[in-house]
Amino acid sequence: MNWTDERVERLKKLWSEGLSASQIAAQLGGVSRNAVIGKVHRLNLPGRAKAGGSASANRPASKRPAPAAPRAPSFAGRDTARPAARTVGANALKEDQDVNVAEPVKYTASGSVVVPISRRLSLTDLTERTCKWPVGDPLTDDFHFCGCDAQDASPYCKYHAKLAYQPVHERRRPAARAS
C-alpha cells in the first residue's frame, strides 16, 4: 500500500480531527499505526503536544532503541497474508444483514478484534448494530458514519464507545432501588 495523495489527505484530515494513529490506520487500511505515525512525522504534521504517551521528546539519544533488530518482511502493497493480522470475511459480520459490508473486520493472531474499519455508512444505512459515530464534516458530502459493529448496548463500536459520553437516550436514572 502506498501513500497516494488521496490517502495522505485522509490521513491529514483524520489526524487533525484527533483520531489516534491506530484508528487512522484502521480507517485507511493496509497500514499499521506505526506507519501512520511515521508518515505524520514525515509530513511534519503537528504532533500530539500532550496526548497519549509522548513527552519523550527529550529522551536521551544514548538510550536509543533498536540496535539492529530482526524485522518482519515488508508487506507494503499487499493486504493479503499479513502475518500479524488475518482477515475474517463476511462470517464475522453475518448478523449484520442490513449492512453493506465494505471491508472485513480484522483480528490479531491471538484473535482479539483490533480494528473496526469504518464502513462509511450514510445515515439511512445505519442499523441497531452499527456504530453511529459521525465522521467528517456534516456540511460536506464526505460525511458518513463509522458503521462498525456496535458494542452491545452501545450505539458505538469499541473505539468510539470510549470516546463518547453516555448518550441522553441511553442514560438511565438511578432506578428506584429494589431491595
Partner DNA sequence: CCCTGATTCGC
Partner DNA sequence: GCGAATCAGG
Q: Which residues bind DNA (CB under 7 A)?
A: 1-3, 20-23, 31-35, 37-42, 47-48, 51-57, 59, 61, 63-66, 68-72, 74-76, 112, 114
- Tell me the three state secondary structure of residue 108: strand
The CA distance from 25 to 9, in Å, is: 13
- Tell me the three state secondary structure of residue 120: coil
Cβ proximity to DNA: between 32 and 92 the closer is 32
Minimum Å distance from CB 145 to DNA?
A: 19
Minimum Å distance from CB 11 to DNA?
A: 10
Select from 135, 111, 122, 35 the least CA-distant residue to 75: 35
Cβ proximity to DNA: between 18 and 89 the closer is 18
- The answer to whether 38 and 26 are in contact (CB under 8 A) is no
Minimum Å distance from CB 154 to DNA?
A: 16
Cβ proximity to DNA: between 44 and 97 the closer is 44
Strand partners, 130: 149
Cβ proximity to DNA: between 65 and 174 the closer is 65
Minimum Å distance from CB 109 to DNA?
A: 11
Minimum Å distance from CB 150 to DNA?
A: 17
The CA distance from 137 to 152, in Å, is: 27
- The answer to whether 45 and 17 are in contact (CB under 8 A) is no
Cβ proximity to DNA: between 22 and 151 the closer is 22
